[in-house]
Structure formats: C-alpha cells, structure tokens
Amino acid sequence: MKVLDLFSGLGGFSEAFLRAGDEVARVENNPLLSEVP
C-alpha cells in the first residue's frame, strides 16, 4: 500500500505503515521537523 502522510511532524502516524512494509511518503512544511527521517 502507498501512504501519504501530510504534515507528518515526527512521523508517529506513518511509522506503523513503514514497519508493516508499506511505502510511505512524508511531507512536512515546518523547517524544524523537515529533517526527521
């Protein structure tokens, strides 16, 4: 499954999808959080 995580922050919402093997694209507009993997 492909997941789009808008305004991902620290990525907590999409972390479960990543661990399940899904493809995740994270988008964050806050420069302080944009470097979070």
The pLDDT, as a whole number, for residue 22 is 97
First to last CA, the chain: 19
For 1-37, write each residue's pLDDT tens digit: 999 999 988 888 899 999 999 999 999 999 888 777 6
Contacts of 12 (CB under 8 A, 6+ apart): none
pTM here? 0.71
Cα separation, 31 vs 2, in Å, equals 24
The pLDDT, as a whole number, for residue 36 is 72
On whether the CB atoms of residues 13 and 5 are closer than 8 A, the answer is: yes
